[in-house]
């Protein structure tokens, strides 16, 4: 009782109410998918005259269940909610019980209820006419396939109902691209929308990801992009990239709005960020209080409508201003509506009071670093139509110096500060001289592979995009040049008096692992540490540096080193410090995602959309299974925990979103359950097909062996996916 009371106390009432709303919806939804599957078996069995002894949702392990006898059938809910079953006279999924079931179904041959059947060895048995075994092969096939057919029918029904209500979805609008990714190389920008990929028109963001994951990696995927810059449709072929066991991707971050997100913890800003430290300029705090507009700081629901004198219409406009003015304080104007009084609800949009404009001054954010630099890696990607491409920079080039200054703490720039250095040059409207080391193999007919030096003059462009959430395993991008690169794990130089020198780091040390340890916030909560393994080729030190920008004070990075002096490695801890006159463009705002609603305008359109959704999901499962273990890693599978979490996320967005999730789940269950694996419906169909061709059931020993193998496989698969669920839970 004390533990339960503590749990309730730890949850705020809003979270508790959310759980009380979502959990029943998820339970009913998942239960419905299982119910309709078993209902299919039950109804067709009844139609064929088979006696159904049990109809169970969940498994009554140890006899634990809630059940009631109604007529000849016991209906119930079992203690283990991982499926269900219909128990028919003379039918058992366990082949070890075949003889027992045949014996149980046997009747006197002189009885009017007796039906002769042939056993596996050709012997004749007389069984009850209402036994499953007494039915001919087509009837038994109908009974076995009915569950799958019912799942497909109800997947369609779920989708039709959902599109009648309106389905909320994220469109395939770009907010950012990952530097070096296919989308980045193709020059996709914030606001661009993928309106067709492959044969799918107007894909949702989820559909886009699915099309990429299962797309043609070798030849690429044709797509059409509505460009935000000129509202013209451009045809592209994007070649998904897959590295080191990850899913194939094209590098698009989903659409973000200009409305600040309200998650009750951050209120639209990251703690200690410039956005959180913004000061109110107008109106005054007294006027704000008089109008009941909330606190004199940014809050969830605020809509950014202007920065300085520039009106902001969308996220594209917003990031362009941040990208061009990272070192300046910015006046950010938001629209805010007064909160309704307790118990008051606005009847319509016209009844809502007009929004008031609030102006805040947001300070710049000085870039933070650790007082050491690592060696810069080669250029791994060059953006189409970029200054780098025009100037003649090439893949594999390694930048040695810029305007005569070598990379490193003494040279005035590092792999981490290179993007801002190029941004400053662009805003000064000047060329820079870049010296690179390049392999001679770039040139045609060049036999020598000895590196050579090349001097390139390039005029950077003023950036209009920002990379706000660089993953330490992604490449870095210098947007002003249009290049992507990595920083290696080998320490190149140490800044005198900085954190690295105090931690006794040395040039030549190699970072084997970086562990980012986040401090607790004002609510006493801390995210789990982020570990970057530098034995993997995707690890990028500049990405680690980018990941700690805007972090709370006290964020530490534990470095496991393998140095020249100590091959066993040692662990040191460093904290970041500001770098003078270098700036990070993101200001620490958290935005709402962009959502649209797809609703049918007629019942005919409902049916069409529902059919398309059902067929798409069935084909998606088939394509997923075909590429499982090759293009799709087995670690992408999910167990009961993943399904429940996904269902909860869908339910939190409304009933229509949950129905679309159930459409997907029903399609999954239909396809997977019809695979030719013993113990599954598909396995039973194979045995029935064999019986129909041969005229008698398969040899009992063969059936037992195959069922045993199927049982071992399914149990192993279940343990594997549950293990994946536990692993994901530990990482979150």
Mean pLDDT lowest for which of 164-178, 312-326, 389-403, 701-715?
701-715
User: Residue 118: inside a domain, yes or no?
Assistant: yes
Q: How confident is the model at residue 455 (pLDDT cuts 50, 70, 90)?
A: very high
Structure tokens at 617: 């999901």
Is there a domain that residue 238 lies in?
A: no
Least confident interval from 16-25, 70-79, 407-416, 508-517? 16-25
The token pair that represents 725 in the structure block: 């669920």
Whichever domain contains 425, its CATH number is 2.30.42.10
Chain centre to alpha carbon of residue 133: 47
Same domain, 397 and 530: yes
- Regarding whether 391 and 358 lie in a shared domain, the answer is no
- Of residues 251, 455, 479, 249, the one with CA closest to residue 383: 479
- The percentage of the chain sitting over the pLDDT mark of 70, rounded to a whole number, equals 88
* pLDDT recorded at residue 246: 76
Q: What pLDDT digit, counting tens, does each position of 80-116 carry?
A: 877 888 988 877 665 555 656 666 666 666 676 677 7
Mention every residue, 6+ apart, whose C-beta is less than 8 A from residue 564: 506, 508, 509
pLDDT at 714: 85
Residue 587 forms part of a structural domain: no
Q: How far is the C-alpha of 210 from the C-alpha of 434, rounded, in Å?
A: 41
Domain match, 360 and 453 both: no
Does residue 313 sit in the same domain as residue 392? no
Model-level pTM? Answer: 0.82
Cα-only R_g, the chain: 32
Provide the pLDDT for residue 2: 39
CA 9 from chain center: how many Å?
Answer: 31
For the stretch 234-270, pLDDT in tens is 999 999 988 766 788 899 999 999 999 987 777 899 9
Q: Is residue 362 part of a domain?
A: yes
| Number of separate domains in the chain | 3
Same domain for 436 and 359: no
Q: 575, 600, 625: which is the final residue of a domain?
A: 575
pLDDT of residue 145: 92
pLDDT tens for 507-563 read: 888 999 999 998 887 777 778 888 898 888 888 898 899 889 988 888 999 999 886
Among candidate residues 470, 469, 424, the one with its CA nearest the CA of residue 327: 424
Residue 9 lies in domain: 2-163+653-703+715-731
Distance CA 708, CA 689 (A): 20
pLDDT for residue 1: 39
Residues 6+ apart with CB under 8 A from 657: 162, 167, 168, 650, 651
pLDDT band at residue 648 using 50, 70 and 90 as cut-offs? confident
- What CA–CA distance (Å, rounded) separates 559 from 645? 34
276 and 393 housed in the same domain: no
Whether residues 435 and 523 fall in one domain: yes
User: Mean of the pLDDT values across residues 9-26?
Assistant: 61
Residue 341 has pLDDT above 80, yes or no: no
Asked if residue 392 and residue 310 are part of one domain, the reply reads no
CB 210 within 8 A of CB 278: no
pLDDT of amino acid 18: 57
Average pLDDT of the residues in 136-164? 93
- Would 68 be classed as within a structural domain? yes
* Per-residue confidence (pLDDT) for residue 442, from 0 to 100: 44
**Domain end among 550, 575, 600:** 575
414 close to 407: Cβ distance less than 8 angstroms = yes
Three-state secondary structure of 108-152: CCCCCCEEEEECCCCCEEEEECCCHHHCCHHHHHHHHHHHHHHHH
Mean pLDDT for 384-396 is: 93
- Percent of the chain at pLDDT > 90 equals 43
Flag whether pLDDT at 506 surpasses 70: yes
Give domain status of residue 36, yes or no.
yes
* Residue ending a domain, choose from 575, 596, 618: 575
Contact 550, 520 (CB under 8 A): no
Domain co-membership, 464 together with 544:
yes
The reply to whether 250 falls in a domain is no
If asked whether residues 334 and 377 sit together in one domain, one would say no
Asked if 13 and 89 sit in the same domain, the reply is: yes
pLDDT at 214: 87
**Do both 561 and 434 map to the same domain?**
yes
Residue 226 lies in a domain: no
């Amino acid at each position: 009782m004390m533990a339960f009371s503590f749990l309730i106390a730890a949850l705020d009432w809003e979270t508790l109410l959310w759980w009380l709303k979502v959990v029943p919806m998820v339970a009913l939804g998942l239960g419905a998918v299982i119910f309709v599957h078993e209902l299919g078996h039950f109804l067709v069995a009844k139609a064929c005259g088979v006696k159904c002894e049990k109809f169970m949702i969940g498994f009554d392990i140890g006899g634990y269940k809630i059940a009631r006898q109604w007529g000849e059938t016991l209906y119930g809910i079992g203690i283990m909610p991982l499926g269900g079953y219909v128990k028919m006279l003379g039918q058992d999924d366990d082949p070890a019980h075949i003889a027992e079931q045949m014996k149980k179904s046997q009747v006197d041959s002189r009885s009017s209820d007796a039906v002769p059947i042939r056993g596996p060895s050709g012997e004749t048995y007389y069984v009850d006419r209402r036994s499953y075994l007494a039915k001919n092969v087509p009837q038994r096939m109908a009974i076995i396939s009915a569950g799958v057919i019912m799942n497909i029918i109800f997947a369609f029904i779920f989708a039709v109902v959902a599109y009648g209500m309106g389905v909320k979805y994220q469109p395939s609008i770009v907010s950012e691209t990952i530097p070096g990714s296919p989308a980045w190389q193709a020059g996709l920008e914030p606001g661009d929308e993928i309106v067709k990929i492959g044969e799918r028109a107007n894909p949702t963001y989820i559909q886009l990801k699915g099309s990429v994951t299962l797309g043609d990696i070798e030849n690429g995927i044709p797509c059409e992009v509505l460009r935000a810059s000129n509202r013209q449709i451009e045809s592209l072929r994007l070649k998904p990239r897959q590295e080191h066991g990850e899913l194939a991707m094209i590098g698009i971050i989903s659409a973000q709005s200009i409305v600040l997100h309200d998650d009750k913890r951050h209120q639209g800003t990251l703690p200690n960020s410039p956005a959180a430290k913004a000061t109110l300029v107008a109106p005054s705090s007294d006027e704000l209080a008089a109008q009941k507009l909330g606190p004199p700081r940014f809050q969830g629901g605020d809509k950014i409508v202007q920065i300085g004198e520039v009106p902001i219409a969308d996220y594209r406009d917003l990031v362009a201003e941040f990208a061009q003015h990272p070192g300046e304080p910015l006046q950010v104007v938001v629209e805010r509506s007064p909160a309704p009084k307790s118990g008051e609800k606005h009847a319509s949009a016209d009844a809502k009071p007009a929004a008031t404009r609030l102006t805040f001054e947001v300070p710049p954010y000085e870039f933070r670093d650790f007082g050491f630099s690592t060696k810069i890696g080669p250029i791994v990607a060059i953006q189409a139509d970029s200054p780098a491409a025009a100037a003649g920079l090439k893949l594999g080039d390694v930048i040695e110096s810029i305007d005569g200054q070598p990379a490193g703490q003494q040279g005035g720039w590092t792999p981490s500060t290179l993007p801002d250095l190029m941004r400053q040059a662009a805003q000064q409207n000047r060329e820079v001289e870049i010296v690179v080391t390049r392999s001679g193999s770039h040139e045609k007919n060049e036999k020598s592979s000895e590196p050579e030096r090349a001097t390139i003059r390039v005029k950077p462009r003023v950036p209009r995009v920002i990379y706000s959430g660089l993953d330490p395993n992604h490449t870095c991008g210098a947007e002003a040049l249009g290049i992507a690169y990595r920083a290696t794990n080998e320490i190149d130089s140490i800044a005198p008096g900085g954190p690295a020198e105090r931690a006794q780091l040395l040039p030549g040390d190699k970072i084997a692992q970086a562990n980012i340890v986040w401090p607790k916030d004002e609510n006493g909560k801390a995210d789990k540490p982020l570990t970057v393994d530098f034995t993997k080729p995707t690890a990028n030190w500049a990405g680690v540096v980018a990941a700690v920008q805007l972090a709370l004070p006290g964020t530490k990075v534990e470095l496991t080193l393998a140095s020249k002096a100590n091959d066993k490695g040692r662990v040191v801890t460093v904290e970041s410090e500001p770098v003078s006159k270098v700036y990070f463009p993101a200001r620490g705002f958290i935005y709402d995602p962009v959502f649209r609603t797809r609703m049918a305008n007629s019942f005919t359109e409902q049916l069409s959309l529902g059919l398309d959704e059902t067929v798409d999901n069935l084909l998606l499962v088939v394509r997923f299974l075909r590429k499982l273990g090759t293009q799709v890693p087995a670690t992408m599978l999910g167990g009961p925990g993943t399904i429940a979490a996904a269902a909860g996320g869908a339910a939190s967005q409304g009933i229509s979103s949950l129905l679309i999730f159930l459409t997907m789940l029903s399609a999954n269950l239909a396809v997977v359950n019809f695979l030719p694996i013993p113990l599954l419906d598909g396995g039973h169909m194979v045995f029935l097909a064999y019986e129909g061709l041969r005229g008698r059931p398969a040899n009992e020993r063969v059936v037992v062996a195959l069922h045993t193998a199927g049982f071992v496989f399914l149990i192993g698969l279940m343990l594997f996916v549950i293990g994946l669920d536990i692993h994901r839970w530990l990482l979150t």
